Structure 1
Amino acid sequence: MATATTYGARDHARAQAGTEARTMPVVPATDWPDPPCEAGHLVWAETVAGGSYTHRAVARGTEIRLTDPDGDACAHLLLHVAGRPWERLNTADTVKVQWNAYLRAGQLLLSSHGRVLASLVTDTTDGRHDALCATSTLATNTARYGDGAPHSASPAGRELLKLAALKNGLDPRDLPPSLSFFQGVVVREDGALEFTGSAGPGGSVTLRAEQDLTVLIANVPHPLDPRPEYTSTPLEVLAWTAGPTAPGDPLWDATPEGRRAFLNTAELLASKGVR
């Protein structure tokens, strides 16, 4: 076999260079061919394969654009404050504090401490997202597809998020319910959840980090997706340096609840010497 020796294995590995470019991070990110920002500002450029995951620590003010190029991505997102993992995305507060179960541009992703983790600044999908169902689990994927282990043909979202968490010093207990982008769910009049699916190829959302964050993303089918096959297409992730939301920005004062969350965030940052 060509890989039976160390030299053969090395030559085989080097021969793969470039063959997985569509599902690997671009390093450096500034080599991305068509950046959505000023030259030199791109800090993260990656295409996440269906059934895979990614993670990154980003600075306050970073803007992160998620894009569904082919129409069957589903980005299951978790956010933790960098260095303070006990403050993390709280989907229940994100929904109830803002009196809205549906994610749209202009809404805030809130922590369990009433602070803003990220702002949803743009959305081209007409709100085809979900803040209610969280991601798939080992048990549900095993029952549905025959397996849900992270290295199987049908990995579960929670199993992949566990791997992403471990690579950032986080434990499974640090993983709350996630948000899902690009596959929608609505609540019917009788209270049942209805899967509305994708808005189609090319949809994107842009998030703005309002604190230093650890970002975890699993790209797997939505747990309510009715298709019998495990269907998940690539997810594009681009991030660039920008600036956080500041007083005077329309988003800061869009609602009384949002303004209070921004003030809570600003107070914490001020106590750390951050303005």
Structure 2
Amino acid sequence: MTTATTHGARDHARAQDGTEVEAMPRIPAPDGAVWAETVAGGNYTHKVLARGTEVRFTDLEGDACAHVLLYVADRPFERLNVADTVKVLWNAYPGAGHLLLSDQGRVLASVLAADVPVETVCGTSTLARNTARYGDGSPHGASPAGRELLKLAAAKNGLAPRDLPPSISFFKGVRVDPDDGRLTFENSSRPGASITLRAEMPLIVLVANTAHPVDPRPDYACTPLDVLARPGTPTRPDDPLWNSTPEARRAFLNTADHLTARGIA
């Protein structure tokens, strides 16, 4: 089939209808889900999610690394602040029961379950670093950098490179030496490991599935990531998570105050 003519190109495109590959969105999402997608290693995805949505990321083969950014959907100048998440919650290694905070002290998402490392120190990889390490960091090359992929995801949501703060990473761990501050990479994920977040505000979610920036292996290594999101209910004051710590209670109160004033809560 030739694509040299308009009709040939149309026929070729239509012949792909119904084709399924390993990594792709599943539309419509099955079984009441609102987002179902397999993201190839070295690729990205994005979605706008309603408040209360529960989204699960799963490492299918044991070598995924999800670099994630969160923004309030209708006011994306409020966004994930990894530094405040660590500082306010007194924990550089968040897991189940922890909160992901915005730069305004509100809860963007809560971590419902996690059997994977959550990394808050390094952010994602850059064009210059991947080019130096692997020979290419471009978004469509053999070893795309996370920041380059997040730029593409951001652009599809009306956001520019200046809107990309440091990201949080799932499935690869980094430990900070308490004596000299050196970083130790922990390739500690496994096939089937997962983390589930609950959106506490309407969110834009950007995800780049790329090799971790301090992965010491000489070759670019990243395997598929599964994303599945279902409707849910945001955290309420009678949920133990709301009052788990004084800092959590304050963050949830900040969130409720903001949403109530806007008629959303």
Using the size of structure 1 for normalisation, the TM-score is: 0.93
Separation (CA, whole Å) in 2 of partners of 1:240 and 1:24: 18
After superposition, the Cα gap between the structure-2 partners of 1:244 and 1:73, relative to the gap in structure 1 and judged at 3 Å, is same
Given candidates 88, 94, 97, the residue that maps to 1:97 is 88
Deviation at residue 198 of structure 1 after TM alignment: 2.9
Deviation at residue 228 of structure 1 after TM alignment: 1.1
Cα displacement string for residues 132-153 of structure 1 (whole angstroms, at most 9, x for unaligned residues): 1000001101111111111111
8 Å CA contact retained: 1:72, 1:198: no
In structure 2, the gaps of 5 or more residues are none
Paired residues for 1:85-164 under 5 Å:
85-125=76-116, 128-164=117-153
Amino acid at match of 1:168: N
Could you tell me which residue of structure 2 aligns to residue 251 of structure 1? 241
Deviation at residue 3 of structure 1 after TM alignment: 2.1
Question: Is 1:180 paired with 2:169?
Answer: yes
Separation (CA, whole Å) in 1 of partners of 2:84 and 2:78: 13
Q: Moved runs in structure 1, 4+ residues, more than 3 A?
A: 14-20
Deviation at residue 230 of structure 1 after TM alignment: 1.0
Using the size of structure 2 for normalisation, the TM-score is: 0.96
Percent identical among aligned pairs is: 67
Separation (CA, whole Å) in 2 of partners of 1:162 and 1:170: 8
8 Å CA contact retained: 1:54, 1:216: yes
8 Å CA contact retained: 1:79, 1:216: yes
SS in 2 for 1:153: coil
Could you tell me which residue of structure 2 aligns to residue 76 of structure 1? 67
Separation (CA, whole Å) in 2 of partners of 1:21 and 1:105: 32
Q: What do you get for the CA RMSD once the two structures are aligned?
A: 1.3
Structure 1, 91-100 or 188-197: larger mean CA deviation: 188-197
Paired residues for 1:184-199 under 5 Å:
184-189=173-178, 190-199=180-189
Separation (CA, whole Å) in 2 of partners of 1:157 and 1:141: 9
Deviation at residue 6 of structure 1 after TM alignment: 2.5
Separation (CA, whole Å) in 1 of partners of 2:189 and 2:127: 27
Paired residues for 1:257-272 under 5 Å:
257-272=247-262
8 Å CA contact retained: 2:59, 2:189: no
Amino acid at match of 1:113: Q
Separation (CA, whole Å) in 2 of partners of 1:234 and 1:224: 19
Cα displacement string for residues 207-240 of structure 1 (whole angstroms, at most 9, x for unaligned residues): 0000001000000000011111111111000001
Amino acid at match of 2:176: V
Separation (CA, whole Å) in 1 of partners of 2:228 and 2:243: 27
Separation (CA, whole Å) in 2 of partners of 1:235 and 1:116: 25
SS in 2 for 1:73: coil
In structure 1, the gaps of 5 or more residues are 31-38
SS in 1 for 2:132: helix
Deviation at residue 270 of structure 1 after TM alignment: 0.6
Given candidates 209, 214, 217, the residue that maps to 1:227 is 217
Cα displacement string for residues 25-81 of structure 1 (whole angstroms, at most 9, x for unaligned residues): 111012xxxxxxxx42x1000000110000000000000000001001100000000
SS in 2 for 1:154: coil
Separation (CA, whole Å) in 2 of partners of 1:158 and 1:16: 31
Amino acid at match of 1:245: T
Deviation at residue 197 of structure 1 after TM alignment: 1.0
SS in 2 for 1:85: coil
Amino acid at match of 1:124: D
Amino acid at match of 2:133: R
